[in-house]
Amino acid sequence: MTISRKEREHKRQRNEILKVAERLFARKSFHKATMQEIAKKSEFSVGTIYNFFKSKDHLYMQVVWKKAREIDRKLRDAIAEKDTIIEKLDNFLRAKAEFFQENQEFIRLYFMETQGVTFSLKQALNKKLYRLYDEFLRHFSEVLSQGIKDHLFRQIDPYYLGLVLDGLSNTFFIHSIILKKDIKLEEYIPVIKEIFFNGVMRKK
Amino acid sequence: MTISRKEREHKRQRNEILKVAERLFARKSFHKATMQEIAKKSEFSVGTIYNFFKSKDHLYMQVVWKKAREIDRKLRDAIAEKDTIIEKLDNFLRAKAEFFQENQEFIRLYFMETQGVTFSLKQALNKKLYRLYDEFLRHFSEVLSQGIKDHLFRQIDPYYLGLVLDGLSNTFFIHSIILKKDIKLEEYIPVIKEIFFNGVMRKK
Amino acid sequence: MTISRKEREHKRQRNEILKVAERLFARKSFHKATMQEIAKKSEFSVGTIYNFFKSKDHLYMQVVWKKAREIDRKLRDAIAEKDTIIEKLDNFLRAKAEFFQENQEFIRLYFMETQGVTFSLKQALNKKLYRLYDEFLRHFSEVLSQGIKDHLFRQIDPYYLGLVLDGLSNTFFIHSIILKKDIKLEEYIPVIKEIFFNGVMRKK
Amino acid sequence: MTISRKEREHKRQRNEILKVAERLFARKSFHKATMQEIAKKSEFSVGTIYNFFKSKDHLYMQVVWKKAREIDRKLRDAIAEKDTIIEKLDNFLRAKAEFFQENQEFIRLYFMETQGVTFSLKQALNKKLYRLYDEFLRHFSEVLSQGIKDHLFRQIDPYYLGLVLDGLSNTFFIHSIILKKDIKLEEYIPVIKEIFFNGVMRKK
DNA sequence: CATGAATGAGCGTTCATTCAT
DNA sequence: CATGAATGAACGCTCATTCAT
C-alpha cells in the first residue's frame, strides 16, 4: 500500500512533466524547447526529469506515445459505445473531431515538427506507433466487416475502408487546423459521410 | 552569352547544394544535418553555401519550396495532358504516385509518423506554400466543376472534391511509404477511384 | 549563513573571471581575446562564464565598470581623508598615480595611442560610466568651490578646475605609461601642482 | 612623366581608399567595418585594396598615420605662422580645436576604438606615432623655450610646458566631443589660456 | 533520491584573405 | 593588373547531460 501510494505519486509527477513538455514542444518545437525550461515550468529540477526520462528524445517519445494511446482509447470507445455501424462511424468522426479540436497544438507539433528527434529513435517510435495504428485499423476493419456482411457496404477490403475513413477525416480536420479555424463539425462531417458512403458519382 | 554561361553555372551549383541538402535533411532531420556536412558532401565550402543561401533556415525553405513547385507542376501538367475528366483524374493519380515513389526520402521527412496528411497542407504553415496548394486546389476544383456540369458528379463543393481526392491518395501512398513498400499502383489506384467515385455504400 | 557562503563563493568566482578577462582584454584587445581562452585561463568552462555574464560584451563592460568604480572610490576616499584643500589635492594626485601605476596594463588598453585623454571620459560613451565620472567631477568641484570661497583659488568655474586637474594628471601619468617608465611621483606631482596652482606666467 | 602620371593616379586611388576606410572605421569601429564593404564603398575590388595595403591591420595603420601627419602638419604650421609666443599659442589652440571639430568621428575612433588591431602592429604604430608626437613636443618646446628666455614664462622644463598645453586642450576638446557638443572655442580657449598662464591660485 | 551549477562538444555564421580568370 | 567568388579557420554561444552535494 505504501508502495502503491509512492507509485501513484510517481505517476502523477511523471504526468505533470509530460503535460508541461507537451505544451512546450507544441509551442516552441522540439529543438527550441529546452530541458531547463521544461524543468522550471514543471517545478522539478532537471536532474529529476532525467530520473523519469533518460533523454530529451525519450521524453519527446513519451509525450507522443501518451497522446497516441489517448486517441486510440477514445476512438475505440467511440466505436464500442454505439450499436449500429452507422452510429459507430458517426461517433468515431465526432470523437476524432473532438480530439483534434482539443489538441490543436499537439496536432501541429506531431504533424509538422517531428524534425529533430534522433532518427533511429523516431523510427522506433514510428514502429510502435505504426503497430498501434495498424492494430486500430484491424480492429476498425472487423467492425466494418460487419457492415459488409450486413450488405450495407460493398465488397471492399475492410482494412481499406478504415484507412479511407481515417484518411478522409484527417484531410478535413487538418485542413481546418492549418487554416486555424475551428473544425466545423456540422459542415465537414456530412460531407465526409456523404462522400465516404456514396462517392462522388451521380447515380444514374 | 558569357553572362548566360555564368548564370547557368550558378544555377547548376545552387541545384547541387539543394540536392545534397534535401538528402541530408531527409536522412538526418533539419537539426541534425549540419552546414559543415552539407558543405563537405556537396563539395563546396561553407562560405560558398552562404553565398547562395543566407542561412540554414533559408536553405531548408528553398529545399521544400523547390519540391513543392515540382509536384505542383507535375500535377497541373498531368491534369492538362488529358481531355476527359476521368482521364485527367487517372493521370493525376498516376503522376502523384510517381512523385511519391521517386521522392520517398523526402516524403518520409515530412510525413514521418503521420498518416494521410496532405503533402502541401503540411507545408501550409508557410503561407507561400499554402497559397501554392490552395491555388492548386482551386485550379483542380475548376476542372472538377466541369464534371459536375456534365452531370458526371453529384452537387458537391468542387473544392472539397479536390481536397478529398488529394487526401485519399495521400492516405494510400503514404501508407505504402511507411510500410516501406513500393506504391502498388495497380492495387491502390483502382481502390481509390472506386471509393472516390462510388463511395462504399451498396447500391440498392 | 549557507546562502551567505554560497554568495561569497559566487562573488569570488565572478571576480576571478573578471580578473582573467581584464588581463586578456588588456593584453590582446577585446576582439582578439576569446571566450574559450578566458575560460581556460580562469579554469572555468565556457558555459559557466555564460552563467555569470550573458555575453562577451557584458563581460567586457563589467570589467570596465569594476575598474571605474574602483578608481572612483579611491579618489573620493583620497579627497575625504584629508582636511585642507591643498592636502586633498595632494592626496588625490597620489591616489591616482598609485592606481595608474598598479593598473598599467589596463590603462594601456584604453589610452594606448592617446595622450592625455581623461580616463573616465573615454568610458563616457557608455552613459553609466559617464554619469559616474560626471558625478565625481561634481563632487570634486564642490570641494574645489571651498577653495574659491576661502580666496585660495581665483573665480573659475569649479567644474573646470576639476576637469583641469584630472586632465593634467592624466597627461603626465599616461605619458609615463606610454614610455613604459614608472610614474615618477616625486618628479611629476610637483610640476603638476606648480602649473595648476601658479600657471606658467612669470609673476611681475 | 608617364610614370609620374601613373604615380599620381596611384596616389589618388590610395587616398580614395583611405578616405572611405577612415569613414567606415570611425562609424562602425575597426572590427565591424569589413573589407568587402570598404571595397564596395570605394568602388574598388577587394583584390585591388589588397594591392594597396597588405592587410586590414595595415590599412587601419595607414588611416591613423595619415591623420596623425595631418594634425602634426597643421599644428606646426599654426605655430610657424605667427611671430609672438602668445600668438603662436593662440593659433595652436585654434588649429587644434578646428581639427578636432572637423574630425570628430575620427577622434572618437582613435581614442576609443583602437581595441582590435593586432597588438604588435599597434605597438609599431604607437612607436611611430609616439616618435611623431615626441618630435612635435620637442619642436614645440623649442618655441616655448623662447618664452622662458624672454622672461615671459617661469623656469619650467619647456617639454613639460608643451605637454601641459597639449594635455589641457585635449581634456577640454575631448570632453566636448564626448558630450557631442560643438567645441565652444570662445568659452574653452580663454579658460585654457587663463589656467595655463596664471594657474588657479589667487595672487596676493 | 533531488538538486542545479558546471560542463564542453558542437553548432551556425562571418569575413580576411587568396588566386584562377 | 583587376576582379570577386571561393575559402575555411575561428568565433560566440547554447543546452543536453552529468554529478558533487
Nearest chain C Cα to D154, which residue?
A: C202
As a whole number of angstroms, the distance between CA C115 and CA C99 comes to 17
Q: Are C130 and C143 in contact (CB under 8 A)?
A: no
Q: Is A39 a member of any domain?
A: yes
Q: Which residue has the higher pLDDT, D134 or C185?
A: D134
Query: Based on the domain organization, do D153 and D117 belong to the same domain?
Result: yes
C180 pLDDT above the threshold of 80: no
**Mean pLDDT for the stretch of residues C97-123:** 63
User: D touches C (3+ CB pairs < 8 Å)?
Assistant: yes
Protein-covered nucleotides of chain E (CB closer than 7 Å) are 1-20
From the candidates B23, B59, B112, B196, which should be mutated to test the interface with A, based on the most A CB atoms within 10 A?
Answer: B112
Query: Based on the domain organization, do C103 and C182 belong to the same domain?
Result: yes
Contacts of A130 in chain B (CB under 8 A): 113, 178
Q: Is C58 a member of any domain?
A: no
Q: Is B7 a member of any domain?
A: yes
As a whole number of angstroms, the distance between CA A117 and CA A31 comes to 8
Nucleotide nearest the Cα atom of C47 (by C1'): E7
| CATH code for position B76 | 1.10.357
pLDDT tens digit string along A87-103?
999 999 999 999 988 98
Query: Based on the domain organization, do D48 and D62 belong to the same domain?
Result: no
A117 pLDDT above the threshold of 70: no
Contacts of D130 in chain C (CB under 8 A): 113, 178
CB contact under 8 A, D130 and C196: no
Query: Based on the domain organization, do B138 and B82 belong to the same domain?
Result: yes
CB contact under 8 A, B153 and A201: yes
**Helix/strand/coil (H/E/C) assignment for every residue in D20-83:** HHHHHHHHHHHHHCCHHHHHHHHCCCHHHHHHHCCCHHHHHHHHHHHHHHHHHHHHHHHHHHCC
**Residue B162's pLDDT is what?**
92
Q: How many CB pairs under 8 A join A and B?
A: 152
Q: Is C59 a member of any domain?
A: no
In angstroms, the Cα distances linking C56 to C34, C127, D29 are 9, 19, 17
pLDDT tens digit string along A24-61?
988 888 888 999 999 999 999 999 999 999 999 999 98
In the chain, the amino acid numbered B173 is F
**Residue D199's pLDDT is what?**
75
Query: Based on the domain organization, do A33 and A110 belong to the same domain?
Result: no
CB contact under 8 A, A126 and B113: yes
Nearest chain D Cα to C27, which residue?
A: D119
Nearest chain B Cα to A161, which residue?
A: B200
| CATH code for position D66 | 1.10.357.10
Query: Based on the domain organization, do A88 and A129 belong to the same domain?
Result: yes
Query: Based on the domain organization, do D89 and D9 belong to the same domain?
Result: no
- Torsion angle of alpha carbons D133, D136, D137, D138, nearest 10°? 120
**Residue B10's pLDDT is what?**
87
Domain boundary among A9, A26, A53: A53
Question: How many Cβ atoms from other residues are within 10 Å of residue D101's Cβ?
Answer: 15
Domain coverage including residue D28: 1-53
Residue D166, chain C, CB below 8 Å: the answer is yes
Q: Among D92, D84, D100, which residue's Cα sits nearest to residue D164?
A: D92
Q: Is A67 a member of any domain?
A: yes
- How sure is the predictor about C202, in pLDDT bands with cuts at 50, 70 and 90? low
Residue B199, chain A, CB below 8 Å: the answer is yes
CB contact under 8 A, D167 and C163: no
Q: Are D30 and D114 in contact (CB under 8 A)?
A: yes
**Residue A6's pLDDT is what?**
77
Q: Is A203 a member of any domain?
A: no
Domain boundary among D53, D69, D95: D53
As a whole number of angstroms, the distance between CA C26 and CA D115 comes to 9
Q: Which three cell numbers stand for residue A45?
A: 529540477
**Mean pLDDT for the stretch of residues D149-156:** 88
Query: Based on the domain organization, do D164 and D97 belong to the same domain?
Result: yes
**Residue C95's pLDDT is what?**
95
Contacts of C166 in chain D (CB under 8 A): 171
Q: Report the distance from CA of residue C51 to the C1' of nucleotide E6 in Å, as an integer.
A: 9
Q: Which residue has the higher pLDDT, D6 or C51?
A: C51
As a whole number of angstroms, the distance between CA C192 and CA C165 comes to 8
A1 pLDDT above the threshold of 80: no
Q: Is C164 a member of any domain?
A: yes
Domain count, chain A: 2
pLDDT tens digit string along C19-74?
999 999 888 888 889 999 999 999 999 999 999 998 898 898 888 889 889 999 99
The neighbours of chain D, by the rule of 3 or more Cβ pairs under 8 Å, are: C
**Residue A89's pLDDT is what?**
93
Interface of C with D in 79-138 (CB under 8 A): 109, 112-118, 121-122, 124-125, 130
**Helix/strand/coil (H/E/C) assignment for every residue in chain A:** CHHHHHHHHHHHHHHHHHHHHHHHHHHHHHHHCCHHHHHHHHCCCHHHHHHHCCCHHHHHHHHHHHHHHHHHHHHHHHHHHCCCHHHHHHHHHHHHHHHHHHCHHHHHHHHHCCCCCCHHHHHHHHHHHHHHHHHHHHHHHHHHHHHHHCCCECCCCHHHHHHHHHHHHHHHHHHHHHCCCCCCHHHHHHHHHHHHHHCCECCC
Query: Based on the domain organization, do D189 and D103 belong to the same domain?
Result: yes
| CATH code for position B37 | 1.10.10.60
Q: Are D193 and D89 in contact (CB under 8 A)?
A: yes
Q: What is the pLDDT along chain B (204 residues), one digit of tens a residue?
A: 455 677 788 889 999 999 999 999 888 888 889 999 999 999 999 999 999 998 898 898 888 889 889 999 999 999 999 999 999 999 999 999 999 889 888 887 666 533 333 444 334 445 677 788 889 999 999 999 998 998 888 888 999 999 999 989 988 888 887 766 666 777 888 889 989 988 767 665
Query: Based on the domain organization, do A95 and A145 belong to the same domain?
Result: yes
**What SS3 state is found at B184?**
coil
Query: Based on the domain organization, do D99 and D3 belong to the same domain?
Result: no
From the candidates A63, A111, A148, which should be mutated to test the interface with B, based on the most B CB atoms within 10 A?
Answer: A111
Contacts of A25 in chain B (CB under 8 A): none
**Residue B204's pLDDT is what?**
54
- Torsion angle of alpha carbons B21, B27, B32, B33, nearest 10°? -20
Query: Based on the domain organization, do A24 and A125 belong to the same domain?
Result: no
Q: Is D203 a member of any domain?
A: no
Please list, in sequence order, all residues whose beta carbon lies within 8 angstroms of the beta carbon of residue B18, skipping any fewer than 6 positions away: B59, B62, B63, B66
Residue A172, chain B, CB below 8 Å: the answer is yes
Distance from CA of D1 to the nearest CA of C (A): 40
Q: Report the distance from CA of residue C204 to the C1' of nucleotide E12 in Å, as an integer.
A: 73
CB contact under 8 A, C114 and D110: yes
CB contact under 8 A, B195 and A164: yes
Q: Are D30 and D116 in contact (CB under 8 A)?
A: yes
Distance from CA of C58 to the nearest CA of D (A): 16
Domain boundary among B13, B34, B53: B53
Q: What is the mean pLDDT of chain C?
A: 83
CB contact under 8 A, B116 and A167: yes
Nearest chain C Cα to D119, which residue?
A: C28
